[in-house]
Amino acid sequence: MWDLGHFGPKEYSACIVAALILVVLSKHRVRRTVKLPPGPPRLPIIGNLHQMTASRLWEKATEWRDQYGDIVYVENIGKPLLILNSYEVASELLDNRSAIYSSRPNLIMAMELQGWAWVTSMLPYCEKLRQHRAYLHRFFQTPEALNYFELQERETCVMLNGLLHSPEKYADHVRRLPGAVILKNVYGYEVQKLNDPMVQSGEQVLRRGGESLQYILLDFLPWCHPANPIPVKHVPEWTPFVKFPKVAREGRQTVATFKSMTRELARKQVMEENAGQSMASILLSENMKDDGSIDDEQNIYDASAMAFLGGTDTSVTAIMTFILAILKNPDKQSRAQVEIDGAIGTDRLPTVSDVDALPYVQAICTEILRWEVILPLGIAHNLTENDEYMGYHIPAGTMVVPNVWSMALDERYYPDPLSFKPERWMPGETKEGVPSLMPQDYVFGLGRRICSGKKWAEHIVFLAVASILATFHIEKGKTANGETIPPNDNYLPSILRALGPSQCKITPRSEKAASLIRQSVAAL
């Protein structure tokens, strides 16, 4: 079966045929007199398409940085893509020139075929996007709006209790945490058990989203464009050698189910008299007219569902990375525990207000975001007008991708970048001094499309890390023969990196720590 997600000889031949059609159809090819940014040599017709399906494109792009510099230009059957390999260029283009670098590309599989076009992070720069961002900003950048600190602390406590009872399921307890807080924040929905159907539905739809990105090749094939006489939407599933129509249909169904489930949750909030305060209930009631209809109803549903999608898997990867970092660097755990015991004692659990009293724990959180970045290529932006930069021409319509991976491993800022070193964030502890570039300045994106959940995510990661360190001891697992089991550091190489569990031992630091957890849960 021809899977457009993987580039092989059949796909290669198909691309050549497609490109030839393109060449024949375009009677007058525009002669390039402008100087394009540097990049790897392009093959006739297909350009760099054969290099685009590398499973870790961010690593390939980082290699290109050494050869071609901070901006790397590639072309796929005439479609331009610019990779920004350093913070400086990403900041100049995505931030300082955000007026023209803030749109998003139209991705055929995701948006045309699977029905993701409503998702905030996929919207072009438009009024609808501004409205979504305003809704999200109100509830996710302002903790007081829904008192999300209290919810984060509460659900962190539930996670600790889970670790106490079934430490071997630690990945499930971690997975539950961000989903439970967001579902309560957004819909007033209470997650009751580990494998909650709503949390699972969010995970499932995100998996479909990740899958859709494997079909990026469709965006480069000329006949796939919606303006063509045979729109790609109408390619039947029985078409020989192509798998994408089936993947598209399955994705469409999952997205539609997710949309109707989240819509129902939101509607329930506004219909029920005793429904608590949540993002959906507040926005829907504020916008309700006398006749019961709701202004901007669809945008409220969509922005609410986006919070659920944007905040769950990303935060889970950060917390899983923390556990991996401790398994590989046990000395960091001991130092953090000494800090916690000294600053807040052992009679209570940490809260978000302890951030300033726990600089080393905070340094661990910062280093987690840098050491194993979660979205190594961020989310692609789209340039809406021709631009000139460093003497190069960047054509309108260029897909612009920040290489967050390369920024996080930039030795100019982070000596020995592959090592997990929270010390680099502690003033006076390294001879180079604290790096002038924080990962928080780029791992959440840049410019007008910066992540709407940045603050919320930083808070939940801090709480989870500080609370686990305060109460548990994490160590590598052992085989029956007493040999140490190496931790699992095999991240899924998708655009949103995910990490499975390691075989390890997670035990309460003391009977007092275990009893503190039990008492805190009982008091919820």
Residue 451 known to bind ligand = yes
Compose the 378-397 pattern: x for residues touching ligand HEM by CB under 6 A, - for all others: xx-x----------------
340 binds ligand HEM (CB under 6 A): no
Nearest-approach distance from CB 476 to ligand HEM, in angstroms: 25
Compose the 91-130 pattern: x for residues touching ligand HEM by CB under 6 A, - for all others: -----------------------------xx-------x-
Which one of 37-45, 48-56, 167-175, 448-456 is the stretch in contact with ligand HEM (CB under 6 A)?
Answer: 448-456
What is d(CA 67, CA 51) in angstroms, rounded to the nearest whole number? 15
Nearest-approach distance from CB 299 to ligand HEM, in angstroms: 13
Nearest-approach distance from CB 298 to ligand HEM, in angstroms: 16
Cα of first residue to Cα of last residue in the chain, in angstroms, is: 53
133 binds ligand HEM (CB under 6 A): yes
Nearest-approach distance from CB 407 to ligand HEM, in angstroms: 11
Pair 377, 403: CB distance under 8 Å: yes
Residue among 295, 296, 292, 266 at smallest CA distance from 281: 266
445 binds ligand HEM (CB under 6 A): yes
Of 446, 465, 469, 516, the residue at the interface with ligand HEM (CB under 6 A) is 446
Which one of 55-63, 208-216, 257-265, 452-460 is the stretch in contact with ligand HEM (CB under 6 A)?
Answer: 452-460
Helix pair angle (454-471, 330-344), 10° resolution: 90
Residue among 233, 307, 230, 221 at smallest CA distance from 266: 307
Nearest-approach distance from CB 445 to ligand HEM, in angstroms: 2
Of 61, 284, 318, 361, the residue at the interface with ligand HEM (CB under 6 A) is 318
What is d(CA 95, CA 87) in angstroms, rounded to the nearest whole number? 11
Compose the 134-173 pattern: x for residues touching ligand HEM by CB under 6 A, - for all others: --x---x---------------------------------
What is d(CA 427, CA 435) in angstroms, rounded to the nearest whole number? 10
179 binds ligand HEM (CB under 6 A): no
- Residue 148 corresponds to which tokens in the numbers above? 């999300």
332: amino acid identity, one letter: K
Helices (H), 345-419: 359-371, 404-408
Q: What is the DSSP string of 443-502?
A: TT--GGG--TTHHHHHHHHHHHHHHHHHHEEEEE-B-TTSPBPPP----B-SSS-B----
Nearest-approach distance from CB 472 to ligand HEM, in angstroms: 21
User: Which residues are within 8 A (CB) of 322 and not within 5 positions of it... i.e. 6 or more apart?
Assistant: 364, 365, 368, 461, 464, 465, 468
Q: Where are the beta strands (DSSP E) in 296-411?
A: 381-382, 387-389, 392-394, 399-402
Nearest-approach distance from CB 449 to ligand HEM, in angstroms: 4
- Positions at the binding site for heme: 451
Residues in touch with ligand HEM (CB under 6 A)? 120-121, 129, 133, 136, 140, 306-307, 310-311, 314-315, 318, 374-375, 378-379, 381, 443-446, 449-453, 456-457
